């Protein structure tokens, strides 16, 4: 049996085809377009949930969850909740880190260079809703 359609895109330009390869300044705009497309599929009151986390580039921490929250607002969605999801497991009653390989490598690289950084141990869970056009909003939040 031959594999097919096993890649994100047939496009050879990774930056155009895969969000993971986009430049940070373009990534927020791409997410706005994604969130706007999600909104067209949602009934009023429908929900979109996004998990994301901050990341480091050249030692600088980027508030990617904040950028996603802004993208949702630009797309016309209303953020109704923001939670933290710990990246861990429980083994024999002990909490054990379950961070990504890339987080570990970046943290080790920065520590070796003298940066006092820690591995990011959580993801933000952002919950958005498609506002009901019948309801008025106050300060960008759905009225009760």
pLDDT in tens, 1-54: 676 655 655 555 555 567 777 777 788 899 999 999 999 999 999 999 999 988
CB 50 within 8 A of CB 65: no
Q: Would you tell me how many other CB atoms lie within 10 Å of the CB of residue 15? A: 12
Looking at residue 92, what DSSP letter applies?
A: T
In the CATH hierarchy, which top-level class contains the domain 14-142? Answer: alpha beta
| pLDDT of amino acid 95 | 85
What's this model's pTM, rounded to 2 decimal places?
Answer: 0.73
- The domains of the chain are located at 14-142
| pLDDT of amino acid 141 | 53
The 3-state DSSP class for residue 2 equals coil
- The percentage of residues in the chain with a pLDDT greater than 70, rounded to a whole number, is 82
């Amino acid at each position: 049996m031959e594999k097919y359609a096993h890649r994100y895109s047939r496009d050879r330009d990774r930056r155009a085809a895969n969000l993971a390869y986009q430049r940070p300044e373009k990534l927020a705009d791409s997410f706005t377009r994604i969130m706007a497309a999600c909104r067209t599929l949602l009934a009023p009151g429908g929900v979109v949930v996004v998990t994301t986390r901050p990341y480091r580039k050249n030692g600088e921490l980027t508030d990617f969850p904040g950028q996603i929250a802004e993208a949702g607002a630009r797309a016309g969605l209303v953020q109704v909740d923001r939670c933290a999801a710990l990246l861990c497991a429980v083994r024999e009653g002990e909490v054990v880190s379950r961070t990504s390989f890339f987080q570990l490598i970046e943290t080790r690289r920065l520590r070796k260079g003298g940066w006092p950084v820690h591995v990011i141990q959580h993801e933000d869970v952002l919950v958005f809703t498609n506002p009901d056009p019948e309801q008025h909003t106050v300060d960008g939040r759905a009225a009760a």
